Amino acid sequence: MGVNPKDLKKAMKRLGMEIEEVKAESVTINETDGSKIIVEDPQVMIIKAKNQPTMLYIIGEPKKIEPLNENKQESQISEEDIKLVMEQANVDKETARKALIESNGDIAEAILKLKSS
């Protein structure tokens, strides 16, 4: 259930407020703990009123993404995976490990990234 921007704009104008609709594909809020709140296909409005701070309204369904714990992620990468990436991409152990971390443990992606660089 969305807000009709035209009706809202008329009501706000009667109250001495100016409303501007922003066409956005997504809105991302980066929290101080490293997690993110993402709203896909939101309705975004900027509302200005005399002697008031500018207000930003985001209407949509938020998704929260928790920060990756790099130590946990590193411990999930097996020695077998590292050896396979080392052999296939012809790189040293540390380079293979870093590529696996950057690709979230996806072996094929890690190999392709290393071969293309």
Confidence of residue 74 (pLDDT cuts 50, 70, 90): low
51 with 94, same domain? no
Residue 90 scores a pLDDT above 90:
yes
Q: Please report the beta strands in the chain, taking only residues with DSSP state E, as ranges in sequence order.
A: 17-23, 26-30, 36-40, 43-49, 55-59, 62-65
The order of strands in the sheet holding 26-30 is 26-30, 36-40, 62-65
57 with 81, same domain? no
93 with 60, same domain? no
Each residue of 18-43: pLDDT tens digit?
A: 888 899 999 999 888 778 899 999 99
Q: How many domains does the chain have?
A: 2
Residue located via tokens 């997690």 = 35
Tokens at 70, concatenated: 């790099």
Residue 25 pLDDT: 94
- Which residue range(s) make up the domain with 61? 5-65
**CATH code of residue 36:** 2.20.70
Tokens at 59, concatenated: 């209407």
Residue 72 scores a pLDDT above 50:
no
pTM: 0.48
15 with 53, same domain? yes
Residue 89 to residue 2: CA distance in whole angstroms? 50
85 with 105, same domain? yes
**Across residues 56-67, what is the average pLDDT?**
87
